[in-house]
Amino acid sequence: MAWENHSVLMDFVFLAYPNCPELQILCFVGIGLAYALIISGNVLIVVSIQTEDRLHTPMYYFLGGLSGVELCYTAVVVPHILANTLHSEKTITLLSCATQMVFFIGLGSADCFLLASMAYDRYVAICHPLQYPLIMTITLCVRLVMASVVIGLFLSVQLVAFIFCLPFCRARGIEHFFCDVPPVMRLVCATSHIHELSVLVAATLAIAVPFFFIATSYALIVSTVLKLQSAAGRSRAFSTCSSHLTVVLLQYGCCAFMYLRPNSSYHPKQDQFISLVYTLGTPFLNPLIYTLRNSEMKGAIGKVLSRSCIPPKQIE
């Protein structure tokens, strides 16, 4: 009934974009450069893992899956942001807005579930090293990556369907760069705590539940590592987890701030900045975090780059 009352062709207008032409060009160049670095960094990781046999291990398969998800995650909104930056009419239809939100929230949730899977991989490797090859098979890795994406999209579809079944007010201005939950919820006329609670529950399932598994895995890891007699062994064990922990803190810090809080604490300008951090910053920093402290990954990327720079005649 709500979709019958709304026109599917109804337009929303994004209000966060600058009106000054100079600022528009500056934003386009900055975001475009960041997006190019995101694509190149994550594609390099995926190609390196696929081409290097020594990286065909569960840890690197998860990393490749994370890079693949983040490539799709940024592709959902960043090209649209770039187009709107220079376009005079910064509008989107209701149906397109709902579709964008489904994939943005779904792939963002898949990121969280993938990070939980990676934490489980580290737990098995450190706490049960002898059983690791038997437990963490490639088949299990593929299933966990696929399950992360399917669960993330399933939760997202439920959340977005609920939001777009609510009545919208006459105001059509979204104080944001793209369709995200907090700014779209500001346009809903139904001021009920039940609606706000429902969104909070969905966000908790997608964010807090994976974080619980990550925290539990690392609590068990710390307990096991502290029992090691060798200081070098403890340092090596913590070093293998440091990159993952850095990414977890970055991802969950932004997500928790955006989604695990009451709608009344929404601040448009502040949230627009935070949204750009987790939309552009996290996918850009993740490849750097995972490669700078990983000699195998750096070596594999170096080989891929050297092969791509060799002229065809030299290869023959």
Confidence band (pLDDT; 50, 70, 90) for 311? low
Confidence band (pLDDT; 50, 70, 90) for 195? low
d(CA 75, CA 79): 6
DSSP letter assigned to residue 260: S
pLDDT digits (tens, 9 = 90+) for 4-25: 445 555 788 998 888 888 888 9
What share of residues in the chain are helix, strand, coil (percent, to 5)? 80, 5, 20
**Sheet strand arrangement including 91-93:** 91-93, 11-14, 173-174
pLDDT digits (tens, 9 = 90+) for 251-279: 877 777 777 666 666 677 777 888 888 88
Q: Give the type of residue at 206.
A: A
Which range is most confident: 42-51, 205-214, 296-305? 42-51
Contact yes or no for 177/17 (Cβ under 8 A): yes
Q: For position 262, what pLDDT does the model report?
A: 62
Confidence band (pLDDT; 50, 70, 90) for 310? low
d(CA 302, CA 304): 5
Confidence band (pLDDT; 50, 70, 90) for 250? confident
Is the model's pLDDT at 51 over the cut of 70? yes
- For 10-315, CATH number? 1.20.1070.10
Is the model's pLDDT at 224 over the cut of 90? no
Q: For position 191, what pLDDT does the model report?
A: 61
d(CA 119, CA 241): 8
